[in-house]
Amino acid sequence: MSVYDYSASRLDGSVEKLDAYRGQVLLIVNTASACGFTPQYAGLETLYEKLHSAGLTVLGFPCNQFGAQEPGTEAQIGAFCQKNYGVTFPMFAKIDVNGDNAHPLYKYLKDAKPGLLGTEGIKWNFTKFLIDRSGEPVARFAPQTKPEELEAPVKTLL
């Protein structure tokens, strides 16, 4: 298994196979529009703009499971990200990352890269998974890890 075995709905409702990103380094992030970490959208966009031509793609997955900090519709999420942070990286439809209804991609990511002390559950918005060019998760970063701190780990995979 790899991330390429999964599909997800985009903000516009279209379904996209993650196989479309084969050969790229991916940074997969569960996001929210009303969170203390929401300003990380700016850093994620900067990282994406800086390293996309070298093979990095950031994938945003909005989630409302933490403090109901992503209550909007897909259209509202897209408009918020564009207006406030100029987000151009791919954004997907709102998903669950924990529990019985967790998206299969996140079940896979949590199993492949457990968190602190081996716990699988996502603890908060803006947890980040770094995926190598073969689609394998290589690292998991806590929400407080700023996107600019990820440049060096990303570059080792490019």
Q: Residues with catalytic annotation?
A: 35
3-state secondary structure of 135: coil
CA nearest to 29, candidates 77, 91, 72: 91
CA nearest to 139, candidates 117, 114, 105, 104: 114
